[in-house]
Amino acid sequence: MTNPDESPRLVYVGDPMCSWCWGFAPVLEKIRDSVDIPLEITLGGLRPGPAAEEVDEKMRRFLSHHWDQVEKATGQPFDRSSLDREGFVYDTEPPSVAVVAMRQLRPEQALPYFVRLQKAFYAEGKDLGDPEALAIAARDLVDVNAFLDLLASPETRRATWEDFNSARQMGITGFPTLVGASKEGLEVLSPGYLPHERLAPAIDDWLSRV
């Protein structure tokens, strides 16, 4: 993630289907608008592929309670209808692959697209395991056919798992996490959700030192 010659940048590690990441979205938008250094995204891998879980009654209660907490703490809206979807498997790999596909086509749109997917899932109850839903969210950003080709590509899936591995190599297992990266190394600025009024001074302090 670092090299001796690189300029400072922020690395956001999150997952499109992480509820606290959805809660963190407005904070991240403020940070993106207020800093003059690059803000990159690395997919963390919350419940991808083999780690996916079927949403049974126990899981439904767990998620609903968790979403209540995030909604209360952050004010972000939640549509809980997705929890009642028949056969719903909480697999965060497909939307993560979609973000990597977007990053390959238009890197500057990867983070906005990530937030679109969060909104589609959490606020609109969309199925992010459906390639059509992923493509609809991308259609005004990229050529949809090129996007769908990358979405189905084994190379894109491998690149996504490289992101997951990079996050773990940084020692990050919880999301959201915001990291400052510079030639001095990595510094965790937000280990989990922080409101903007607490995170902004931490970023300013880090920037003053690097």
Distances (CA, A) of 208 to 29, 53, 94, 202: 21, 43, 38, 10
pLDDT-derived band of residue 173, with 50, 70 and 90 as boundaries? confident
- CA dist., res. 121 & res. 127, Å (int): 7
How much is the pTM? 0.95
Angle between helices 131-138 and 110-122 (to 10 degrees): 130
**Averaged pLDDT of the chain:** 95
- CA dist., res. 135 & res. 52, Å (int): 22
Task: Calculate ∠ Cα 42-43-46, nearest 5°.
Answer: 145
Compute the average pLDDT of residues 96-115: 97
- How large a percentage of the chain has pLDDT more than 70? 98
Q: Is the pLDDT of residue 5 over 80?
A: no
Task: Map 37-77 to HEC letters.
Answer: CCEEEEECCCCCHHHCEECCHHHHHHHHHHHHHHHHHHCCC
Q: Is the pLDDT of residue 120 over 60?
A: yes
Q: Is the pLDDT of residue 4 over 50?
A: no
Tokens encoding 203:
């970023």
All structural domains of the chain, each given as residue ranges with its CATH number in brackets, are 9-205 (3.40.30.10)
pLDDT-derived band of residue 2, with 50, 70 and 90 as boundaries? very low
Q: Is the pLDDT of residue 207 over 60?
A: yes
Give the least confident one: 1-10, 74-83, 100-109.
Answer: 1-10
Q: Is the pLDDT of residue 86 over 50?
A: yes
pLDDT tens digit sequence for 31-71: 999 999 999 999 999 999 999 999 999 999 999 999 999 99
Compute the average pLDDT of residues 88-117: 97
| Residue given tokens 């591995």 in the structure block | 165
Compute the average pLDDT of residues 129-153: 97
| Residue given tokens 């079927």 in the structure block | 54
Q: pLDDT higher for 23 or 1?
A: 23
